[in-house]
């Protein structure tokens, strides 16, 4: 309840009187003047108002129909059309409404209804305008959402394509790792597909709660993908697909940024769309309600016209009587209040003067008091003397937030043996006062349910509780009471209690502060002694640790100077005692294997990091080398491992601690172990192939490398024909190495091939014979290393023995010629069979079936297919009636290596595409051997998509082989361009294929042996993108031997 002082009561009384008198007078005058005018106005305006009101209502309903039609429109054009019609209809309505306003402008009652109708119409008009705008906006947001969803899904598709390239990356030496990458990439691709479905789902959601969580859904999907990204990163780095990885990570980062970018916020577009839909509907409802209210107001105009006049007459009469009575009552109240006010003012002034004197006296006592109990009792005594309370007490809040009694009036000792009475906040009147931090006055405790009395029942008493508060913080409560008949707490008593409580709070704070300062002074000296002892012990511990640590440790301070405290072992590592106060660059990096740029980076990084924010260390730590080779004064070298750690003080780098380890012997052992590991790998690779194949590989590889060396030495300028032959030779070496799984060779050979490729494709690249020979020598050394390990570790010494078969080749050939010259027509069957067996035995020394010759090529297809994510194809070979003589084994092995690998890499589709086309997931390659006159014919086919005719044609135009304006050649002619030098349509260069040298080499090798090769298309449309085909190879029969005398007549 609000308590008013005397002055407030007086002024309120005067105000009431004035208001009553004024109201009475005004009402009387207004009512008398408006009675006659009101009657005449009703009679004159009722009939025209009816007609005009009906006309206005019809115009309004027409306009409402247009706004409703506009809401149901589904295109921007329809909405704009209805909006225009609505505006024209609004002009008609407003003109008619102006006429209605003029008719009722002199009648307040009807005018008020007209104004209400006008107000409702304005609400209707504003709602319709918002509705039209919302309709247009929701269509805009809908289009933005659809565009964003499509863009998002396009970016996801791009990321998926790059991920597919990563899974197909060619790294045969990391086959197991690539299998793991392919599996993880497949799972990430599934997650990307889920991401696309989520985007589609978000674009169809209509529930705001679901849309609000949509961003979380996207973030959750990205978080699910992140562990797989983290898992894949080191694996991709291991196989060397860093460029693809950077591209893919950038694409994923772009997707994440797009998901969080406000400009591309699909969720917000959908929320905006739904909000605008809801807003349009809401405003339509508002408009309909406003129209309804306007019509109701128009209907009420005539009904109210007649009744309003009679009601106004009664109100006028009542107002006149009320004015007279109000004036009379006001004068009576004024006289009573004036009489009482003078006596109360005199008593109030006298009481306040006494209170002020007592407050000053008590304040002086409290200021000099250093004992809390004495201060509390002084305040209780002052309240007794000034207010007349019989009893008083002070309760202070303890650590448990309970109120505990600390002083009484009349004064009495608190028994320390007995637990003093306590109150919880909110308990009883005292607890309520403490909880609410307000003064509470209870006139009669016997009638107040909040009062708590733990003692025997007492007579009814008046109670005053005053909280002790310091800046909204409760300190305690003062509690005063007295007999209800003798104690009355007046306004001035409240003010006195509030003032004296403030003085008491200040005194309590001062006493507590004095006690704290005294306690701190007593304990400060002891703490200083303890901290000094602790610091001495820590310094001793650090010194002991530095002396016994078995690794180098020092700190770099401002200016790059080494702190005087460092580990003793650092002197052993660096073999010097001159360490302290030296520049760290002079100590560690004076004689190293590092270049000048690297040394400058280290110096600049350390100088800039000291005194900077700790975050800067993460940005620049990569400039601080982790390993360095140091040359000592006697010429010996040590390899040191360095670990840099910032020492932070106040979030800034105060020092940099450097840990130094001597890893010279460790790195030496690691290098030896790595060399032994590679040697064991090479031994395993050699053992995996037959002795004859390995011997033949070493022989042919050295021959091709010698040919390359001769070409380089005999030419001083760049010639395309020479480069093409270099390509063919080295490409064949690389292909054979891959076929046999000699992975320690493929890298160096691939680098040589890459150089030749640049010479061919980059006109500005110069012919540098010295550089070419050095690269060729690197590849040759790898070949010789295989040869040396085979001799030293496996005892394969026949490498240089040209006659390691044990047969005299010339004798074998002579015998075969003599047997073939025999006329067996008259011979018996036994003789023919005996001679045939002899013939076949001799033939096996000189020739083998084509299926045996290219067996390693067929076996290698499995690993190739696995690398590019395809299943190993089924290979069918028909040997025919001829065996291949040994001198062309290598040539045919290389030829079919190119042809079969091209089928797997370019022709046969991936399993998913094959299934979609109704094919078996495994591809099929067929090789058939036939004869034509003096030729043996090999026909190779596969069941893949065929040759990319249109892509070859476009590539030929780009290379200038064909002109776009010329008539298009036949598909057959276009397809055979794959045998042109340097021609390739591959989109990326790998170690498998794609440099445009393989089929060129095939044609060149065959032509040197008098053979030929061509692509023969199957039936189909000339403009088809892909055409199935056969590869036809023809060789002279003198390179073959019949597999049996019995087939001689065939």
> SS3 letters for 998-1037?
HHHHHHHHHHHCCCEEEEEECCCCCCCCEECEEEEEEEEH
- The side-by-side arrangement of strands in the sheet containing 1012-1017 is 874-878, 924-932, 935-942, 1029-1036, 1012-1017
**Statement: residue 441 has pLDDT above 60:** yes
688-741: per-residue pLDDT in tens?
A: 787 878 888 888 889 999 999 999 999 988 888 888 888 878 888 887 887 788
Tell me: the pLDDT tens digits for 535-580?
Answer: 676 666 666 666 666 688 899 998 889 988 888 888 888 888 888 8
Quickly state the pLDDT bin for 312 (edges 50, 70, 90).
Answer: very low
**Distances in whole angstroms, Cα of residue 676 to Cα of each of 439, 681, 789, 966:** 92, 9, 11, 62
How many CA within 13 A on the CB side of residue 154? Answer: 6
Q: Are 560 and 667 in contact (CB under 8 A)?
A: no
Omega before 410 cis (within 30°)?
Answer: yes
CA distance 407 to 428: 19
CATH number of 365-519: 3.30.450.40
Model confidence pLDDT, tens digit, residues 496-523:
888 888 888 888 888 888 878 877 777 7
Query: Which stretches of 784-829 are assigned E, i.e. beta strand?
Result: none
Higher pLDDT, 991 or 222: 222
Q: Do residues 265 and 151 lie in contact, with contact meaning Cβ atoms separated by under 8 Å?
A: no
Tell me the pLDDT tens digit for each residue of 646-678. 999 888 898 999 999 888 888 887 777 777 778
Of 185-189, 246-250, 990-994, the range with the lowest mean pLDDT is 990-994
User: Which pLDDT score, from 0 to 100, does residue 358 have?
Assistant: 73
Q: Does an H or E element contain 482, and which?
A: strand 473-483
Q: Which of the residue ranges 420-424, 630-634, 798-802 would you say has the lowest mean pLDDT?
A: 798-802
Give me the pLDDT at residue 1015, please. Answer: 94
**Lowest model confidence (mean pLDDT) among 2-11, 589-598, 931-940, 989-998:** 989-998
pLDDT in tens, 350-361: 667 777 777 777
Same fold? 550-662, 820-1047: no
- Asked whether the beta carbons of 925 and 944 are under 8 A apart, the reply is no
Cα gap 602→585, rounded to integer Å? 8
CB count, 10 Å around CB of 213?
Answer: 14
Residue pair 378/365 in contact by the 8 Å Cβ criterion: yes
Binned at pLDDT 50, 70 and 90, residue 263 comes out as confident
pLDDT at 791 > cutoff 80: yes
Three-state SS string across 4-64, please?
CCHHHHHHHHHHHHHHHHHHHHHHHHHHHHHHHHHHHHHHHHHHHHHHHHHHHHHHHHHHH
3-state SS of 420-480 is CCEEECCCHHHHHHHHHCCCEEECCHHHCCCCCCCCCCCCCEEEEEEEEEECCEEEEEEEE
Please answer whether residues 502 and 418 qualify as being in contact, where contact means their C-beta atoms are separated by less than 8 angstroms: no
If you classify domain 673-800 with CATH, what class do you get?
mainly alpha
The whole-angstrom separation of Cα 509 and Cα 46 is: 80
Q: Where are the domains of the chain?
A: 6-137+283-341, 140-274, 365-519, 550-662, 673-800, 820-1047
Residue 820 pLDDT: 62
Structure confidence at residue 972 as a pLDDT band (50, 70, 90): very high
Contact between 906 and 998 (Cβ < 8 Å): no
The pair of three-digit structure tokens given for residue 481, joined into one six-digit string: 């009471």
Task: Go through 497-506 and write b for each residue having 16 or more CB atoms within 10 A of its CB, e for each that does not.
Answer: bebbbebbbe
Q: Is the domain defined by 820-1047 classed in CATH 3.30.565.10?
A: yes
Predicted TM-score of the model (pTM):
0.36
CB 189 within 8 A of CB 160: yes
Q: Which long-range CB contacts under 8 A does 679-683 form with residues at least 24 apart?
A: 679/789, 679/793, 681/743, 681/744, 682/742, 682/744, 682/785, 682/786, 682/789, 683/789, 683/793, 683/794
Whether the pLDDT of residue 17 is over 60: the answer is: no
Q: How sure is the predictor about 845, in pLDDT bands with cuts at 50, 70 and 90?
A: low
How many angstroms separate the CA atoms of 730 and 728, rounded? 6
Q: Which tokens is 535 given?
A: 């610091």
Give Cβ neighbours of residue 203 (< 8 Å, ≥ 6 apart).
145, 146, 149, 266, 270
Does the pLDDT of residue 4 top 70, yes or no?
A: no
Q: Are 319 and 28 in contact (CB under 8 A)?
A: yes
The pLDDT-based confidence of 1027 (bands split at 50, 70, 90) is very high
Instruction: Label residue 309 by pLDDT band (50, 70, 90).
Output: very low
CA 950 to chain centre: 41
**Greater model confidence, 44 or 472:** 472
Q: Is 237 exposed, middle or buried (0-12, 13-18, 19+ CB in 10 A)?
A: exposed
In the numeric block, the tokens 């009387």 are attached to: 28
Dist CA 92 CA 690 (whole Å)? 103
Rounded CA separation 686/695 (Å): 10
pLDDT at 421: 75
CA torsion, points 480, 484, 485, 486, in degrees to nearest 10?
10
The token pair at 489 is 């707490």
What distance in Å separates the CA atoms of residue 741 and residue 743, rounded to the nearest whole number? 6
Enumerate residues 6+ apart whose C-beta is below 8 A from 640.
573, 588, 627, 628, 629, 630, 660, 661, 662, 663
Which pair of tokens denotes residue 1015? Answer: 């692509």
- Whole-number Å distance between alpha carbons of 865 and 415: 97
Q: How far apart are CA 741 and CA 746, in angstroms?
A: 9
Indicate the helix (H) or strand (E) that contains 555: strand 552-557
Under 8 Å between Cβ of 751 and 776: no
Structure tokens at 142: 């809908």
Distance (Å, rounded) from C-alpha 832 to C-alpha 824? Answer: 7
Element (H, E) at 286: helix 266-368
User: If DSSP states are collapsed to H, E and C, what string results for 927-981?
Assistant: EEEEEECCEEEEEEEECCCCEEHHHHHHHHHHCCCCCCCCCCCCHHHHHHHHHCC
pLDDT tens digits for range 116-134: 888 888 888 888 898 888 8
CA–CA dist 1022, 546 (Å, integer): 84
**Interacting residues of 753 by C-beta distance below 8 A, sequence separation 6+:** 727, 730, 731, 734, 995, 997
Q: How far apart are the first and last CA of the chain?
A: 129
Identify the burial level of 339 via C-beta atoms within 10 angstroms of its C-beta, where 0-12 means exposed, 13-18 middle and 19 or more buried. exposed
| Beta strand extents in 78-207 (DSSP E only) | none
Contact 392, 408 (CB under 8 A): yes
Phi/psi at 968 (5° precision): -75, 130
DSSP string, 711-753: HHHT--S--HHHHHHHHHHHHHHHHHHHHHT-HHHHHHHHHHH
Q: Can you read off the two tokens belonging to residue 365? A: 């006592």
For 550-662, which CATH class?
A: alpha beta
Token pair belonging to 610: 């000291």
Query: Is the separation of the CB atoms in 406 and 395 below 8 Å?
Result: yes
Collapsed DSSP state (helix, strand, coil) of residue 637: strand
User: What confidence category does residue 24 fall into, taking pLDDT thresholds of 50, 70 and 90?
Assistant: low
How large is the average pLDDT for residues 14-18?
59
> Cα dihedral sign for 860, 861, 865, 866?
negative
- 3 state DSSP class of 389: coil
| Local confidence band at 323 (pLDDT 50, 70, 90 cut-offs) | very low
pLDDT digits (tens, 9 = 90+) for 59-100: 787 788 888 888 888 888 888 888 888 888 888 888 888 887
């Amino acid at each position: 309840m609000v308590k008013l002082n005397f002055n407030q009561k007086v002024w309120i009384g005067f105000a009431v009187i004035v208001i009553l008198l004024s109201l009475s007078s005004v009402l009387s005058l207004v009512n008398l003047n408006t009675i006659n005018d009101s009657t005449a106005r009703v009679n004159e305006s009722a009939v025209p108002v009816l007609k005009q009101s009906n006309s206005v209502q019809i115009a309004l309903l027409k306009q409402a129909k247009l706004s409703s039609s506009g809401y149901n429109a589904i295109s921007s054009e329809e909405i704009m059309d209805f909006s225009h019609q609505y505006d024209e209809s609004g002009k008609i309505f407003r003109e008619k409404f102006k006429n209605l306003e003029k008719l009722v402008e002199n009648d307040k009652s009807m005018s008020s209804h007209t104004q209400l109708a006008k107000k409702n119409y304005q609400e209707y008009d504003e709602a319709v305008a918002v509705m039209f705008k919302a309709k247009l906006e929701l269509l805009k947001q809908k289009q933005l959402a659809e565009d964003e969803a499509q863009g998002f899904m396009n970016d996801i598709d791009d990321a998926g394509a790059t991920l597919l390239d990563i899974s197909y990356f060619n790294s045969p030496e990391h086959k197991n790792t690539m299998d793991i990458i392919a599996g993880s990439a497949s799972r990430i691709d599934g997650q990307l597909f889920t991401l696309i479905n989520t985007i589609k789902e978000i674009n169809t959601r209509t529930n705001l709660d679901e849309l609000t969580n949509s961003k979380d859904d996207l973030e959750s999907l990205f978080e699910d993908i992140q562990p797989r990204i983290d898992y894949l990163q080191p694996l991709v780095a291991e196989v060397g697909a860093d460029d693809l990885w950077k591209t893919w990570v950038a694409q994923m980062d772009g997707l994440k940024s797009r998901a969080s970018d406000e400009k591309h916020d699909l969720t917000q577009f959908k929320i905006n769309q739904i909000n605008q839909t809801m807003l349009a509907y809401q405003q339509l409802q508002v408009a309909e309600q406003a129209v309804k209210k306007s019509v109701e107001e128009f209907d009420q105009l005539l009904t109210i016209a007649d009744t309003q006049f009679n009601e106004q007459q009664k109100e006028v009469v009542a107002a006149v009587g009320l004015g007279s009575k109000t004036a009379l009552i006001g004068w009576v109240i004024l006289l009573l209040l004036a009489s009482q006010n003078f006596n109360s003012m005199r008593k109030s002034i006298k009481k306040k003067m006494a209170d002020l004197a007592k407050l000053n006296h008590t304040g002086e006592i409290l200021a000099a008091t250093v004992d809390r109990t004495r201060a509390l009792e002084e305040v209780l005594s002052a309240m007794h003397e000034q207010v007349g309370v019989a009893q008083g007490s002070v309760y202070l809040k303890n650590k448990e937030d309970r109120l505990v009694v600390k002083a009484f009036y009349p004064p009495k000792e608190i028994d320390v043996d007995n637990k003093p009475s306590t109150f919880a906040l909110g308990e009883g009147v005292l607890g309520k006062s403490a909880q609410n931090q307000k003064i509470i006055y209870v006139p009669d405790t016997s009638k107040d349910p909040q009062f708590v009395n733990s003692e025997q029942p007492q007579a009814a008493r008046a109670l005053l509780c005053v909280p002790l508060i310091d800046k909204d913080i409760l300190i305690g409560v003062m509690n005063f009471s007295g007999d209800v008949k003798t104690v009355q707490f007046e306004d001035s008593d409240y003010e006195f209690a509030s003032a004296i409580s403030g003085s008491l709070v200040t005194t309590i704070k001062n006493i507590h502060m004095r006690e704290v300062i005294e306690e701190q002074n007593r304990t400060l000296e002891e703490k200083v002694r303890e901290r000094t002892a602790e610091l001495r012990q820590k310094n001793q511990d650090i010194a002991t640790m530095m002396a016994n640590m078995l690794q180098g440790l020092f700190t770099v301070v401002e200016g790059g100077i080494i702190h005087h405290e460092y580990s003793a072992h650092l002197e052993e590592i660096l073999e010097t005692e001159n360490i302290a106060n030296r520049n760290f660059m002079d100590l560690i990096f004076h004689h190293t294997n590092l270049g000048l740029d690297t040394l400058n980076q280290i110096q600049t990084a350390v100088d800039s990091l000291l005194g900077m924010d700790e975050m800067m260390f993460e940005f620049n730590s990569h400039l601080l080398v982790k390993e360095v080779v140091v040359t000592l004064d006697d010429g010996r070298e040590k390899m040191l491992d360095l670990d840099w750690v910032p020492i932070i003080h106040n979030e800034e780098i105060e020092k940099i601690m450097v840990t130094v380890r001597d890893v010279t012997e460790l790195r030496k052992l690691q290098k030896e172990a790595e060399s032994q590991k590679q040697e064991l790998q090479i031994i395993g690779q050699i053992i995996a192939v037959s002795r004859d194949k390995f011997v033949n590989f070493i022989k042919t590889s050295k021959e091709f490398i010698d040919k390359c060396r001769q070409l380089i030495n005999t030419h001083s300028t760049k010639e395309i024909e020479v480069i093409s032959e270099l390509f063919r030779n080295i490409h064949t070496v690389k292909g054979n190495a891959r076929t046999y799984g000699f992975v320690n060779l493929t890298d160096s050979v691939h680098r040589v091939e890459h150089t030749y490729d640049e010479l061919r494709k980059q006109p500005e690249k110069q012919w540098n014979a010295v550089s070419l020979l050095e690269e060729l020598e690197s590849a040759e050394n790898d070949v010789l290393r295989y040869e040396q390990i085979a001799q030293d570790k496996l005892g394969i010494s026949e490498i240089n023995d040209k006659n390691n078969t044990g047969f005299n080749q010339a004798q074998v050939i002579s015998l075969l010629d003599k047997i073939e010259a025999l006329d067996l027509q008259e011979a018996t069957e036994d003789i023919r069979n005996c001679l045939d067996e002899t013939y076949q035995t001799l033939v096996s020394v000189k020739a083998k079936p084509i299926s045996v010759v290219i067996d390693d090529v067929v076996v290698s297809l499995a690993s190739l297919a696995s690398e590019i994510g395809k299943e190993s194809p089924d290979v069918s070979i028909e040997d025919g009636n001829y065996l291949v003589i040994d001198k062309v084994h290598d040539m045919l092995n290389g030829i079919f290596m190119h042809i079969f690998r091209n089928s797997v890499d370019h022709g046969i589709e991936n399993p998913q595409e094959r299934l979609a086309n109704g094919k078996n997931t495994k591809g099929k390659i067929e090789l058939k051997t036939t004869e034509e006159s003096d030729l043996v014919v090999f026909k190779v086919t596969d069941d893949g998509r065929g040759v990319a005719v249109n892509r070859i044609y476009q590539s030929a135009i780009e290379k200038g082989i064909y002109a776009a304006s010329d008539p298009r050649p036949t598909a057959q002619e276009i397809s055979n361009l794959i045998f042109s030098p340097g021609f390739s349509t591959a989109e990326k260069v790998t170690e498998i294929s794609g440099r445009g040298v393989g089929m060129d080499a095939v044609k060149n090798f065959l032509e040197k042996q008098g053979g030929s090769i061509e692509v023969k298309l199957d039936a189909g449309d000339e403009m088809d993108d892909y055409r199935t085909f056969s590869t036809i190879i023809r060789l002279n029969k003198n390179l073959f031997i019949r597999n049996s005398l019995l087939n001689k007549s065939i």
